[in-house]
């Protein structure tokens, strides 16, 4: 899992605030987490396991903006501090062992984002497709899939499987023309036209122009038409599972209601047809990450190859930084001992 990035972890709309609302539990990066909205409506996140005696706080009540553990009622604020031990009364000194570590989160683009990595003095901007126009309503959905997230990201950059897997809903040809893929910083951009073989054989370029982009670590954009975009991400639940989120946006109409209907139909055909077709392929794949297979890439896979290279470079630099940190931690006690 690539460190030191912002990852989308939940749709902001699914985190409801207000009286009587409970917290919700999710698992990301192999950690059980609990999220809620505090008294000001601000999203908060903590590890879900209570430091007192290990109950899960997922689903716990919210009182005065703090999370209440369902077992003995200990309360926790979004800063990770334990604020109340009902059994000991309000004047007791609360032991530090009852505090929880905090993972930074943000709410942007109607998503909750979590920082996965080292603590920073200041955090970078959340990556998004700000340059791609979006208006007039959207629809989104998400669910957990039993595959490593890197394989899900790879498939969002794969345009030329469409005629074989989704031919009955996406009427594209099998020949990829004018395919281009490039890398700019943390962003991969790819475009190509899928043309019916008969038309390509006549030397004509009449087909469906598609675009698939990725912003590291995991935010994809597929333009099915210039006015219908699919935003998609796969965030690690653990090594073997991903949280797949997708949102259809459109620029056909400024009407929020028509936009909602159009994107609702797109999301539901994606859920009922397109993703079921993909799963038939995924279920037959050998489990593992994108790095576990040699692959024999062809030109139309260039965007996937760029992702794999970029990912392995970043994993390598993460490993180097980790080794340096361990080395520093070990060298410090030795140097202070020498000084004494």
Q: CA-to-CA distance for 10 and 7, rounded, in angstroms?
A: 9
Query: How far is residue 5 CA from its own chain's centroid?
Result: 10
Angle between helices 149-156 and 302-339 (to 10 degrees): 140
Contacts 24+ apart (CB under 8 A), 247-254: 247/138, 247/139, 247/140, 248/138, 248/139, 248/140, 249/134, 249/138, 250/136, 250/137, 250/138, 251/133, 251/134, 251/135, 251/136, 251/226, 251/227, 252/136, 252/227, 252/228, 253/136, 254/135, 254/136
Q: Identify what 135 binds: Fe ion, ligand FES, none; CB under 5 to 8 Å per kind.
A: none
Site stretch for ligand FES (CB under 6 A), options 66-74, 126-134, 221-229, 267-275? 66-74
What CA–CA distance (Å, rounded) separates 125 from 157? 24
Q: Kindly state the tokens that stand for 244.
A: 């797949």
Does 66 bind Fe ion (CB under 5 A)? Our answer is no
User: C-alpha distances in angstroms, 259 versus 11, 211, 226, 249?
Assistant: 19, 21, 15, 8
Q: Establish if 154 lies at the interface with Fe ion (CB under 5 A).
A: no
Q: Does 247 bind ligand FES (CB under 6 A)?
A: no
How far apart are the C-alpha atoms of 2 and 328, rounded to whole Å?
22
Residues 6+ apart with CB under 8 A from 324: none
Residue with tokens 């890398």: 183
The only residue of 48, 69, 195, 232 in contact with ligand FES, by rule CB under 6 A: 69
Closer CB to Fe ion, 66 or 154, in the complex: 154
Stretch that binds Fe ion, among 72-80, 186-194, 211-219, 277-285 (CB under 5 A): 277-285
Of 25 and 104, the one with the shorter C-beta distance to ligand FES is 25
Is residue 75 within the footprint of ligand FES (CB under 6 A)?
Answer: no
Q: At closest approach, how far in Å is the CB of 21 from ligand FES?
A: 20
Nearest alpha carbon to residue 5 among 25, 23, 24, 28: 28
Pick from 52, 160, 249, 308: which binds ligand FES (CB under 6 A)?
A: 52
Residue 92 within binding range of ligand FES, rule CB under 6 A: no
The answer to the question of residue 16 lying near ligand FES (CB under 6 A) is no
Among 66, 270, 278, 301, binds Fe ion (CB under 5 A): 278
- What pairs with residue 35 in β-bridges? 24, 45
Options 48-56, 156-164, 284-292, 296-304: segment touching ligand FES (CB under 6 A):
48-56
Out of 7, 74, 248, 307, the only residue in the binding site for ligand FES (CB under 6 A) is 74
For residue 46, the partner it binds in ligand FES, Fe ion, none, with Cβ less than 5 to 8 A by kind, is none
Query: By beta-carbon distance, which residue lies closest to Fe ion?
Result: 278
72 contacts ligand FES (rule: CB under 6 A): yes
List 29, 71, 135, 252, residue binding ligand FES (CB under 6 A): 71
Rg from Cα positions in the chain: 23
Which residues form the interface with ligand FES (CB under 6 A)?
50, 52-53, 55, 69, 71-72, 74
Which residues form the interface with Fe ion (CB under 5 A)?
278
């Amino acid at each position: 899992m690539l460190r030191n990035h912002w990852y989308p972890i939940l749709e902001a709309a699914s985190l409801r605030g207000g009286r009587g609302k409970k917290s919700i539990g999710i698992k990301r990066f192999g950690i059980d987490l609990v999220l809620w909205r505090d008294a000001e409506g601000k999203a908060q996140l903590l590890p879900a396991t209570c430091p007192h005696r290990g109950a899960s706080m997922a689903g716990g009540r919210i009182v005065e903006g703090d999370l209440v553990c369902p077992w003995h009622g200990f309360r926790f604020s979004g800063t990770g501090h334990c604020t109340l031990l009902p059994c000991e009364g309000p004047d007791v000194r609360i032991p530090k062992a009852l505090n929880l570590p905090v993972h930074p989160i943000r709410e942007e683009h109607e998503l909750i984002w979590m920082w996965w990595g080292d603590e920073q003095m200041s955090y970078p901007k959340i990556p998004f497709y700000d340059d791609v126009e979006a208006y007039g309503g959207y629809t989104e959905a998400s669910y957990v899939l039993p595959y490593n997230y890197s394989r899900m990201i790879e498939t969002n950059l794969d345009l030329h499987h469409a005629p074989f897997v989704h031919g009955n809903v996406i009427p594209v040809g099998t020949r990829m023309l004018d395919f281009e893929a490039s890398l700019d910083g943390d962003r991969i951009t790819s475009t190509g036209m899928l043309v019916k073989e008969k038309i390509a054989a006549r030397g004509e370029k009449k087909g469906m122009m598609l675009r698939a982009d990725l912003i590291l670590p995991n935010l994809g954009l597929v333009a099915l038409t210039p006015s219908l975009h699919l935003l998609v991400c796969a965030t690690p639940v653990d090594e073997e599972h991903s949280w797949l989120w997708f949102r259809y946006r459109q620029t056909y109409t400024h009407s929020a209601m028509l936009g909602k209907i159009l994107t609702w139909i797109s999301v539901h055909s994606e859920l009922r047809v397109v993703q079921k077709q993909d799963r038939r392929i995924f279920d037959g794949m050998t489990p593992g990450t994108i790095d576990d297979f040699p692959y024999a890439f062809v030109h139309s896979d260039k965007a996937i190859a760029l992702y794999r290279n970029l990912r392995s470079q970043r994993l390598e630099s993460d490993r180097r930084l980790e080794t340096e940190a361990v080395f520093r931690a070990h060298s410090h006690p030795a140097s202070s001992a020498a000084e004494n």
